[in-house]
Structure 1
Amino acid sequence: MKKQLLSLLLIAQFGFGQSGVPANPYYNGMNWTLTGMNLKSALATKITTTHTNFLTYSQDWNATQATDLNPTNSNNVLLLYGFSSTTCPSSTSDDNDHRERNSMSNGGGNSCEWNREHVYAKSLGTPALVDGALSSADSDAGEDAHHLRSCDVDRNGNRGNLKFAAGSGDSSPVTGGWYPGNEWKGDVARMMMYMYLRYPSQCLPINVGTGATVSTDTNMIQLFLQWNAEDPVSLYEDNRNTYHGNTTNTFAQGNRNPFIDNPYLATVIWGGPVAENRWPTVFLSSQSFLAENAVSIYPNPTNSNEIEIATEEEITKLTLVSINGQIIKEIVNPIFNQNTYKINDLPQGFYFLQINAEKGSLTKKIIVN
């Protein structure tokens, strides 16, 4: 428990990388106390500055053949929007609905081949995405491997540039657009969130999806938040992310999709349905966070070896931890007197105070002189 709590507090306050969650050193330096548009901006900076290898469109073939492999059959790639397990060609099934195909059957002119689906349809970008850049200076969203997925040639054509819309069951055209299918809707949502952060003016969610928008960010649609929560991350998605985050891989971009690493980041940024939280030691509350001004601590710094905590929130636990990870005090269901609680006999030092309440949690720094 000490190690987990220390990880939470150090990451939250200073962004130190830990061997725990988030395990990948990719997130060193992130400040996990940020929420809303501040967290969105910080993640956008992270995925942009770490995008160091700009792939050409021909190299995207190689990347897709490496990243889109079926975790249970490494000879085949999984096909976005696919759902049938029959073999192509087949007399009993539409040949464009297959879920996987041999990884070497890539192309574009045969109904039993697969090609690269621009999940953010090129024509919907502002400006439209291109996929024939000559150099990294010209490269844009059209060649970003994080939204290029293997897809049946014909099914790719069926989707075309239709916007994503609500539906159920297998992938198909629906009123108002294209439903990607129950298995793929979370993948689509997380890709669209990544593209929005990476290309914030070119790849707006409202241009590629339908439905109501989020009140705090009118470029984000609620449908993607719903899909992100309803369809958890798969091993297939994790494998893609791991490949691109490792710059020793020849066709890796160097950056990751944070919403695959933890779908709950979308909840912290935009709210909506609560998505899977894969970093419980970073985000202790699965529902919400207390506002910074919801709790006051005074005096801070203190010269009297004591502090008073003032709040109108229903506090369930107070945990004081030293910079070295030692739990100094842990007070369950503290009894407040006129909305204040005093902690005394504090030794000199620097501390983190984790405040858990009915409505969420908050971490404060404490200095005892």
Structure 2
Amino acid sequence: MNKLYLSAFLMSVATAFAQIPQGYYNTATGTGYTLKTQLYNIIKGHNAKSYNALYTCYQTSDRDYFYENDGTILDIYSEKPDGPDYYNYSATNTGDRCGNYSNEGDCFNREHLMPQSVFNEASPMVSDAHHILPTDGKVNGMRSNFAFGKVSNPTWTSRNGSKLGNNVTAGYSGKVFEPIDEFKGDVARCLLYFVTRYEDKVANWNHAMLNNTSNQALSNWFKNLLLTWHNQDPVSPREIARNNAIYTFQGNRNPFIDHPEYVEMIWGQALATETFEALANINVYPNPSNTNRINIQSEKELDEIMLITLNGQVIQQINKPVGNQGTYTVENLPQGFYLIKMTADSQSTTKKVIIN
């Protein structure tokens, strides 16, 4: 069975035998940060397990029945979606768990996508399976506690192509770790879960990925990156199966896997209403446009321009756009109604535009 039909088959199995519990999201009726708080109240009471129990969880939540279909540990830092993996780990053989390691393929351990140093290894965050994945020990160690981001010139690359290096996304230039495209949406939805599940605590934590608030929670640059990854890499059968297994394990779900549209309803609407004094004088014209192009006049030098559909899909993303005396031109725009987001000095504003 090829991967296309295998994925369709597994999706049908997941849908048929592991439905979202009836009424689970009945109280998720709002939009924006109101919806985020409603989701927090739904998922906050999970049954926290011990840190060691994660290895038991992985026996059902993170098995490879989606690529090689061999039942080994599905590790996003070593999986090769289009070919055989360089190495594999057994879900049940304790000898495959770290342990000491020097090289890729020595052993696997537990990767906190939100580093555990952020919350001082406290419970229940330290053992919450929704944001802790089984990964190769060497690659986990290289990722360290760096933010996730986009890398152009890596200083180190794992065997499946995950990269370490300086971030090239506007708004942050520090060292980051970039997983392969196949799993970027997975990482995004895990971290969106994390800042929702821990809405009552996240404002007190410090990291480049966070902004010390309980509502948006994420730094502007990182929020934009996660929304991009979420849209470019939709929910997969692997994520659905993992979500169902973790629900059985600890009693709560990742709402952004069950309802991907919640991402745009929360952070997209918040994005659309952001206004900052430094960007208050931006002018977008002509609007409506009949020429498939618009001009942006800004007193501030722009770091990024994003054109976003109303359902949250990013159709153009221009980093470090080149302007002419404060005027930026965006061309080849398809007909439609859009949000255009402009970023300067880690601040953003969004305007609605119509292309006739």
TM-score of the two chains, using structure 1 as the length reference? 0.55
Post-superposition Cα deviations, 1:103-150, rounded to whole Å, max 9, x if no partner, equal 232233244211111111112x2x4234xxxxxxxx320111111111
Say if 1:26 and 1:166 are closer, same or farther in 2 by CA, change over 3 A.
farther
Structure 1 partner of 2:164:
173
Q: CA deviation at 1:200?
A: 2.0
The whole-number CA distance in structure 1 between the counterparts of 2:190 and 2:85 is 28
Instruction: Give distance in 2, aligned partners of 1:233 and 1:211.
Output: 23
- Residues 152-301 of structure 1: pairs in structure 2 closer than 5 A: 152-167=136-151, 170-175=161-166, 176=174, 177-203=176-202, 207-208=206-207, 210=209, 217=216, 219-220=218-219, 221-246=223-248, 252-271=249-268, 287=310
| Alignment equivalent of 1:129, drawn from 117, 121, 126 | 121
C-alpha distance in structure 2 between counterparts of 1:211 and 1:200, whole Å: 12
The letter of the residue matching 2:310 is Q
Would you say how many aligned residue pairs link Structure 1 and Structure 2? 232
Query: Aligned AA for 2:77?
Result: Y
**Which residue is equivalent to 2:42?**
46
| Aligned counterpart, 1:102 | 90
SS at match of 1:174: strand
**Change beyond 3 A, Cα 1:222–1:206:** farther
- How far off is 1:244 after superposition? 1.9
Which letter does structure 2 place at the counterpart of 1:166?
Answer: K
Deviation of 1:208 after TM superposition, in Å, equals 4.9
Provide the C-alpha distance between the structure 1 equivalents of 2:149 and 2:263, rounded to a whole number of angstroms: 19
The one-letter code of the counterpart of 1:263 is: P
The separation in 2 between residues aligned to 1:213 and 1:200, in whole angstroms, is 11
Structure 2 unaligned spans of 5+: 1-14, 153-159, 167-173, 272-308, 312-353
Q: Which whole-Å CA distance do the structure 1 matches of 2:234 and 2:90 have between them?
A: 26
Question: 3-state SS of the aligned residue for 2:26?
Answer: coil
Report deviation, 1:160: 0.6
SS of residue in 1 equivalent to 2:44: helix
Is residue 81 of structure 1 aligned with residue 69 of structure 2?
Answer: no
- For residues 113 and 187 of structure 2, the distance between their equivalents in structure 1, rounded to whole angstroms, comes to 7
| Identity of matched residues, % | 31
State the shift of 1:54 in Å.
1.5
Give the corresponding residue for 1:325: none
Larger Rg: 1
CA distance in structure 1 between the aligned counterparts of 2:49 and 2:217, rounded to whole angstroms: 31
1: CA distance between counterparts of 2:178 and 2:269? 20
**Structure 1 residues 200 and 83: CA distance shift in structure 2, 3 A:** same
Matched letter for residue 241 of structure 1: N
CA distance in 2: counterparts of 1:28 and 1:77, whole angstroms:
29
In structure 1, the gaps of 5 or more residues are: 1-18, 89-97, 131-138, 247-251, 275-285, 289-358, 360-369
Change over 3 Å in CA distance of 1:54–1:31 after alignment to 2 = closer
Q: 1:42 to 1:148 in 2, by over 3 A?
A: same
Distance change >3 Å, CA 226–CA 55, structure 1 → 2 = same
1:23 CA drift (Å): 4.9
CA distance in 2, matches of 1:173, 1:234: 25
Match of 2:64 in 1: 70
Aligned equivalents of 1:194, 1:33: Cα separation in 2: 18
Structure 2 CA distance for aligned equivalents of residues 208 and 64 of structure 1 = 27
* Cα RMSD for the two superposed structures: 3.5
Distance in 1 between residues matched to 2:51 and 2:217, nearest whole Å: 31
SS in 2 for 1:30: coil
CA displacement at 1:80 relative to structure 2: 2.2
The offset of 1:233, in angstroms, is: 1.3
Give the Cα–Cα distance (whole angstroms) in 2 for the partners of residues 272 and 31 of structure 1.
19
Q: How far has the Cα of 1:207 moved from its partner?
A: 4.8
CA separation in 1, counterparts of 2:261 and 2:218?
19
CA distance in 1 between partners of 2:79 and 2:226 (Å): 21
1:273-316 deviation line (CA, Å, top 9, x unaligned): 99xxxxxxxxxxx937xxxxxxxxxxxxxxxxxxxxxxxxxxxx
Aligned-pair CA distance for 1:179:
1.0
Q: TM-score under structure 2 normalisation?
A: 0.57
